[in-house]
Amino acid sequence: MDSQNWIDLAQDADTGIETLRAHFKGHAYDPHWHDSYLVGITEQGVQQFNCRRTKHQSTPGKVFLLEPGDIHDGDAPTEGGFTYRMLYLDPVWIERELGALFEDAPLNSQLSFANTLITDPQLMQATQMAFQTLHGGELKIVRQTALDNLLGQLTRHLHWRTRYGADPRLPLVAQKARDYLHAHAHQDIGLEQVAAATGVDRFRLTRAFKAAYGLAPHAYLVQLRLAKARRLLASGEQPAAVAMELGFSDQSHLGRWFVRAYGLTPAMYRNRCSNLPDMTVGKH
């Protein structure tokens, strides 16, 4: 590979989804196809490719969508080359997840992309978030939420989705889910377990929870863990031990969430905790 080109490839252990971030100058790759669905965004530059007998130019802000078997190539028509992010979604995984995410999804659900290159800010944001959470090895429930949102955006205009109506079970769902999160806050739970405990699909679960509490279930669970982290740090435990005890992949992972919530690192909080007000999430 040319020294100006680079590829950063990872695979999510739970889903098998591959995440790719790469940069190319000049010729990128010859015509080829994949047996996966490809959902990607161009970060920088112009990504030019031929697909479905049309020449496309993807620029930042656009989302490119390829189905299994779509033959495509790639090159950089401009001086600086291009950088892009891509998710490779297995068709078997998609069928299974759509059935779990939407209980009203038709059997043998698969995606069909009318356009290879589209401008859709919501889908672009969902693609970006799914890539970041998978590539960065986020908590299981955070990764699953991002993927659910991506599938929700990809199916937003399908006929069966537009008919997805209200559900009389929803008023109790949020309360049941909240109780479940409090009872299992120390475990690496997934959305499917919370959905099973409440008796609805994941889409309805997330919608009901956000309506009731203003946060998605994954964000609420993170806040529960951070509240516990504050208590452990205040009692003198080391950040690395706290991260391990609360299910964060490592100390830096805990640190990123902690700084976003409280504006300082776990170590700084441990040193100064007596000067901070109590902002823990309590169960009322």
List pLDDT tens digits, range 176-199. 999 999 999 888 889 999 999 999
> Would you tell me how many other CB atoms lie within 10 Å of the CB of residue 27?
12
Cα–Cα distance list, 205 to 82, 100, 177, 195, 283 (Å)? 39, 11, 8, 6, 19
* 226 and 201 within one domain: no
pTM above 0.85, yes or no: no
Q: Are 158 and 112 in contact (CB under 8 A)?
A: no
Both 230 and 199 in a single domain? no
Order across the sheet with 117-118: list the strands.
6-11, 18-24, 82-89, 37-44, 63-66, 117-118
Same domain, 227 and 271: yes
| Total domains present in the chain | 3
Pair (210, 88) in one structural domain: no
Q: Which of these three, 131, 154, 177, is where a domain ends?
A: 154
**Looking at the domain assignment, is residue 282 inside a domain?**
no
Does residue 242 share a domain with residue 203?
A: no
Structural domain boundaries, residue 122:
6-154
Residues 115 and 60 in one domain: yes
Distance CA(12)–CA(9), nearest Å, equals: 10
pLDDT tens for 61-76 read 999 999 999 999 999 9
* Co-location of 185 and 238 in the same domain: no
Query: pLDDT per position in the chain (284 positions), as tens?
Result: 556 899 999 999 999 999 999 999 999 989 999 999 999 999 999 999 999 999 999 999 999 999 999 999 999 999 999 999 999 999 999 999 999 999 888 877 778 898 999 999 999 999 999 999 999 989 899 999 999 999 999 998 777 776 666 676 777 899 999 999 999 988 888 999 999 999 999 999 998 999 888 889 999 999 999 989 998 998 889 999 999 888 888 889 899 999 988 888 999 888 887 554 444 444 44
Q: Is residue 127 part of a domain?
A: yes
Give the pairing type, strands 6-11 and 27-32: unpaired
